[in-house]
């Protein structure tokens, strides 16, 4: 789960991490009121969206007086910001963060993420902050430093100090930088984060070390023990289909393509996405319906996949272990009744590969119904190839 920059900064502040003074604003008057309270010579007006790259896209403005704050706030609120992280459709700005301006001497990059190959949290740092870290990683990987953190010991003070020296913090800022890293790690562990990214972390002309930007992501599986984090959810930033799926306990991730797939089990779902790609298809989603599918759940999954017209075909790939193939088949029939106007025509071709428990009964159900557009596939490979072909042709299966 993602949250906004101002929310991330509030959490970090509660752990003692230095962040600029500021507050969120939801309309222009609030923005001016926050700025008035700050009464600093320079104020920063920052668009709050769940994406980075705002600076380059015009979403971060330096204001020198309240009039400028008003102008920038008016300009940004309601605007669609397109950054390299939003995709071409961009994101609408509904909230702002108004902060005191910092006098920057140097910008650094610092993050904590989970490194799966070592099964540890890794702290990554670079003296090349403020820019896209992916670029630094690609062009000058030697400028990125890493500290792998022992889960029992935690981030050791010597590691934080070593990182501060590696990044070339000025002598007066070394201790402050190392102390900030220790607090960041506390926040990462304390809130069950999956990522903490500070880009830029800055040294000011007074040798203070401040987190000028902050991006916190959380491990969804640990959210049950952080109701305070769940309360920060901004549903307007989330994919509507993913949200709807979560309510029905369907694991759905929008992948942007046009071949939808409905699968049981995360491993098979990933393999299905891969095999669709292998045959030249463009998967619309990852969808794991889980092991206890009811016809209602299957019908809901169909509606989610078809909603909005993104899917031009559906590949159902079920290996019935705990799931019963006949219940899945019944779900497809029920879905057709709900979705189609005549109760039997689905708007896109559906290729179904069923295997496992009650498969014979499942096949019978699909063959007996008057639903059109449903084709039974014998194998996973054959089914994938067929749906990709049908979608490419834009045709329907009869
Ligand atoms: P992002 O582009 O979405 O990652 O937004 P950031 O919060 O990282 O801001 C982008 C850039 O704006 C930073 O790298 C800074 O160069 C600049 N910026 C942000 N806040 C301040 C500030 O208080 N003072 C100055 N001088 N520049 C700032
Ligand atoms: Mn940034």
- Active-site residue identified among 6, 72, 108, 109: 109
Q: Note if 197 is an active site residue.
A: yes
Give the pLDDT confidence score for residue 298 in this predicted structure: 86
Task: State whether the beta carbon of 52 lies less than 6 angstroms from ligand 1.
Answer: yes
Q: Whose CA is nearest to atom 9 of ligand 1?
A: 55
**Residue owning tokens 């790609």:** 277
What does the angle CA 239 – CA 324 – CA 245 come to, to the nearest 5 degrees? 10
CB 260 within 8 A of CB 289: no
89 catalytically annotated: no
Q: What are phi and psi of 202, to 5 degrees?
A: -120, 155
Residue 61 CA to residue 4 CA, distance in Å, equals 17
Residue whose token pair is 């500070």: 198
Cα–chain-centroid distance for residue 153? 30
Pair 387, 349: CB distance under 8 Å: yes
- Which residues hold their Cβ within 5 A of ligand 2, which is an ion? 199, 213
Give the Å distance between the CA of 133 and the centre of ligand 1: 15
Give the residue among 280, 91, 112, 131 at the shortest CA–CA distance from 194. 112
* Contact between 354 and 390 (Cβ < 8 Å): no
CB burial readout 293-325, b (16+ within 10 A) else e: bbbebbbbbbebbbeeebbbbbbbbbbbeebbb
**Dist CA 154 CA 157 (whole Å):** 9
Please give the distance, rounded to the nearest whole angstrom, from the Cα atom of residue 217 to the centre of ligand 2: 14
Q: At what angle do helices 295-306 and 240-247 cross, to 10 degrees?
A: 180
Which ligand places an atom closest to the C-alpha of 102? 1
Could you list the mean pLDDT of each consecutive 10-residue stretch along the chain, which spans 398 residues? 96 98 98 96 97 95 97 97 89 97 97 97 96 90 97 98 98 98 98 98 98 97 96 89 87 92 93 97 92 82 89 93 87 85 85 92 90 90 97 71
pLDDT at 32: 98
Rounded Cα gap, residues 86 and 51, in angstroms: 6
Q: Which of 56, 135, 200 to mutate to test the pocket of ligand 1 (most atoms within 8 A of CB)?
A: 200
> According to DSSP H, which parts of the chain are helical?
5-14, 28-38, 66-76, 133-139, 157-166, 174-190, 227-230, 240-247, 266-278, 295-306, 325-339, 359-368, 380-393
Residue 97 Cα to ligand 1 middle (Å): 12
Q: Which ligand is nearest to the CA of 84?
A: 1
Instruction: Find the 60 Cα to ligand 1 centroid distance in Å.
Output: 6
Ligand 1: nearest atom to the Cα of 100? 23
Q: Residue 149 Cα, ligand 1 centroid: separation in angstroms?
A: 29
Which pLDDT score, from 0 to 100, does residue 396 have? 53
- Structural contact between residues 375 and 352, judged by C-beta atoms closer than 8 angstroms: yes
- DSSP 3-state of 352: strand
Q: Dihedral sign for Cα 75, 133, 4, 80, please.
A: positive
Ligand nearest to the CA of 5: 1
Catalytic residue among 128, 197, 300, 385: 197
Taking CA atoms, 208 is separated from 23, 134, 173, 260, 281, in Å, by: 21, 27, 7, 51, 52
Domains of the chain: 1-20+103-238 (3.30.470.20), 21-101 (3.30.1490.20), 240-393 (3.40.50.261)
CA dist., res. 234 & res. 203, Å (int): 31
Determine if ligand 1 sits within 6 Å of the CB of residue 107.
Answer: yes
Looking at residue 398, its pLDDT comes to 45
Ligand nearest to the CA of 83: 1
CA of 202 to the centre of ligand 1 (A): 10
In three-state secondary structure terms, 309 is: helix
With the most atoms of ligand 1 within 8 angstroms of its CB, the residue from 56, 212, 216 to mutate is 212
Cα dihedral: 383, 388, 389, 395 (round 10): 100
Whole-number pLDDT of residue 12: 98
Give the max Cα distance, the chain.
Answer: 79
| 372 token code pair | 């059109």
């Amino acid at each position: 789960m993602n949250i906004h920059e101002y929310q991330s900064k509030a959490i970090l502040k509660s752990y003692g991490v230095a962040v600029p003074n500021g507050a969120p604003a939801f309309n222009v008057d609030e923005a001016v009121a926050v700025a008035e309270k700050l009464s600093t010579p320079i104020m920063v007006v920052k668009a709050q969206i769940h994406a980075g790259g705002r600076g380059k896209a015009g979403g971060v403005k330096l204001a020198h007086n309240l009039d400028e704050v008003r102008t920038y706030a008016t300009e940004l609120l309601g605007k669609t910001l397109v950054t390299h992280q939003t995709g071409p459709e961009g994101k609408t700005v509904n909230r702002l963060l108004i902060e005191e301006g910092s006098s920057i001497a140097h910008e650094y990059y610092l993050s904590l993420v989970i490194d799966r190959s070592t099964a540890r949290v890794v702290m990554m740092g670079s003296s090349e902050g403020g820019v896209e870290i992916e670029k630094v990683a690609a062009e000058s990987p030697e400028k990125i430093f890493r500290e792998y953190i022992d889960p029992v010991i935690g981030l050791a003070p010597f590691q934080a100090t070593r990182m501060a020296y590696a990044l070339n913090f000025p002598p007066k800022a070394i201790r402050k930088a190392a102390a900030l890293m220790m607090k960041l790690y506390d926040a990462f562990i304390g809130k069950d984060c999956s990522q903490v990214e500070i880009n830029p972390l800055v040294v000011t002309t007074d040798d203070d070390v401040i987190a000028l930007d902050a991006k916190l992501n959380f491990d969804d599986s640990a959210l049950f023990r952080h109701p305070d984090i769940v309360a920060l959810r901004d549903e307007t930033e989330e994919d509507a289909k993913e949200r709807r799926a979560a309510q029905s306990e369907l694991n759905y991730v929008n992948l942007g393509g046009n071949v939808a797939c409905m699968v049981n089990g995360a491993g098979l779902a990933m393999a299905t996405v891969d095999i669709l790609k292998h045959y030249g298809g463009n998967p619309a989603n990852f969808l794991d319906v889980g092991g206890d599918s009811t016809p209602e759940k299957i019908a809901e999954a169909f509606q989610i996949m078809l909603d909005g017209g993104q899917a031009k075909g559906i590949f159902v790939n079920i290996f019935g272990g705990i799931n019963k193939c006949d219940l899945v088949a019944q779900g497809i029939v029920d879905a057709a009744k709900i979705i189609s106007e005549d109760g039997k025509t689905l708007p896109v071709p559906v290729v179904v590969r069923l295997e496992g428990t009650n498969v014979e009964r499942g096949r019978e159900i699909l063959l007996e119904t008057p639903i059109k557009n449903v084709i039974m596939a014998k194998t996973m490979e054959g089914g994938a190839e067929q749906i990709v072909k049908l979608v490419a042709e834009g045709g329907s299966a009869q």
